[in-house]
Amino acid sequence: MAIKTVVLPRLSDTPEPAPIVAEDSRWIVAVGKDRFAVDFHATARRLKQAPAKVVPIKSKLGSL
């Protein structure tokens, strides 16, 4: 049974930046007698410049 998709509306006071690149592609995969279509969607947008927040990551491997 398929799960129903819930679409959340975008906040109206937040304008969406124009896309620099928008790309769609579809792969068709055959497994035995079954065929599946996998859609990939990618969009690149220019964002406002802001300092990046550095988040340290603990590793069990130690320092490399």
Band (pLDDT 50/70/90 cuts) for residue 63 is: low
Q: What is the pLDDT of residues 6-43, one digit of tens each?
A: 887 776 676 777 777 778 899 999 999 999 999 988 88
* Under 8 Å between Cβ of 19 and 44: yes
How many Å apart are CA 32 and CA 6, to the nearest integer?
Answer: 32
C-alpha dist (Å) from residue 29 to 26, 36, 38: 10, 5, 8
* Under 8 Å between Cβ of 37 and 27: yes
Domain ranges of the chain: 17-45
Mean pLDDT of 43-53: 83
